[in-house]
């Protein structure tokens, strides 16, 4: 299985940033050291800035189905968060408050003072943390199938109720076993290094309605990106900080900027219940004919919702 080059400018690697940027017409690769961490990001388009943060187990490339269209109206900046892709993978700093500080430092370095923020999955958690901690820098917030960790996570089932753990995730009784698995330190790296494709293929089938929408290229990119022990260790650290994230959230004031929550058939009912408790001005859109990977399954519906909200 192809390994992702540790040199982000290595032209011979099919899955390097340099090779993959060809799939983002008008975008360029950029690198910046901020908050003590070297981050990779891509940028394209003009207009108001729209900062996009990806989730697990993906990279900046996950925005490919929507980025070029968004860039027709906005200056789109897609960031590989701390521990992702060719961004650095330090041994600490994976609480969402620190990761939000990474994004603020990046924006300050490139001279931006107020942005629209958009995040999916883990990226949605970081985007919300950014809005909680830096509301003066946040114009509008979009979160897709992921919101800031809360004590509700502690109520997730250790064992799935009878009849609910089948080929596809049950929206009423979702069983996300990887939330627990990713808490384990050391073992996932030993089990999955060099074999991450097995987890990816199982996960995409489980949480997507039609996993054929996740292409062979996309699967290969993400498998290469997470196929080594250091990348698995760093990605799991996003989950291992949830208790700290929950504590941090206890002192946050409700969000005052406009917030759009977009949920798949899996998450919409939970976002509908949770987001109004932490934000004063919330719009909610359910894309119920999509699973968790909304960009790949229903990009047109995502674009319609996001562009309407931002406009």
150-183 confidence digits (pLDDT tens): 999 999 999 999 999 999 999 999 999 999 999 9
- Do the domain assignments include residue 3? no
> Residue 52 has what pLDDT?
99
For the cut 80, the answer to whether the pLDDT of residue 6 exceeds it is no
- Do the domain assignments include residue 253? yes
> Residue 95 has what pLDDT?
98
> Residue 176 has what pLDDT?
97
Q: Can you tell me whether residue 261 is helix, strand or coil? A: strand
- Do the domain assignments include residue 84? yes
- Do the domain assignments include residue 9? no
- Do the domain assignments include residue 155? yes
Please tell me the total count of domains within the chain. 1
Indicate which CATH number applies to the domain containing 113: 3.40.50.1820
Separation between Cα atoms, residue 71 and residue 73, nearest integer Å: 5
Burial class (CB in 10 A: 0-12, 13-18, 19+), 134: middle
DSSP letters for 122-133: HHHHHHHHHHHH
- Do the domain assignments include residue 4? no
- Helices then strands, each counted (H, E), the chain: 13, 8
Identify the domain containing residue 286 by its residue range. 17-310
């Amino acid at each position: 299985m192809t390994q992702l080059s540790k040199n982000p400018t290595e032209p011979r690697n099919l899955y390097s940033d340099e090779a993959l940027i060809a799939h983002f017409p008008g975008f360029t690769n950029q690198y910046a050291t901020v908050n003590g961490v070297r981050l990779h990001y891509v940028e394209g388009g003009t207009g108001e800035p729209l900062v996009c943060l990806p989730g697990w187990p993906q990279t900046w490339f996950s925005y490919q189905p929507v980025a070029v269209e968004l860039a027709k109206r906005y200056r789109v900046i897609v960031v590989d968060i701390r521990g992702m892709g060719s961004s650095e993978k330090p041994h600490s700093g994976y609480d969402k408050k620190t990761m939000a500080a990474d994004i603020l430092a990046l924006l300050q370095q490139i001279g931006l003072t107020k942005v629209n923020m958009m995040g999916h999955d883990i990226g949605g958690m970081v985007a919300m943390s950014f809005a909680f901690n830096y509301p003066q820098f946040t114009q509008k917030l979009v979160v897709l199938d992921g919101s800031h960790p809360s004590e509700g996570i502690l109520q997730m089932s250790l064992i799935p109720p009878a009849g609910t753990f089948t080929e596809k995730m049950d929206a009423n009784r979702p069983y996300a076993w990887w939330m627990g698995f990713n808490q384990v330190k050391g073992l996932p790296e030993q089990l999955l290094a060099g074999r991450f494709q097995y987890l990816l293929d199982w996960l995409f089938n489980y949480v997507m309605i039609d996993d054929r929408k996740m292409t062979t290229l996309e699967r290969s990119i993400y498998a290469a990106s997470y196929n080594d022990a250091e990348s698995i260790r760093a990605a799991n650290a996003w989950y291992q900080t949830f208790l700290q994230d929950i504590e941090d959230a206890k002192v946050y004031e409700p969000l005052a900027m406009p917030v759009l929550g977009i949920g798949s058939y899996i998450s919409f009912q939970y976002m509908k219940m949770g987001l109004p408790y932490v934000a004063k001005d919330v719009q909610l859109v359910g894309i119920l004919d999509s699973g968790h990977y909304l960009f790949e399954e229903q990009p047109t519906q995502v674009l319609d919702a996001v562009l309407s909200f931002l406009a």
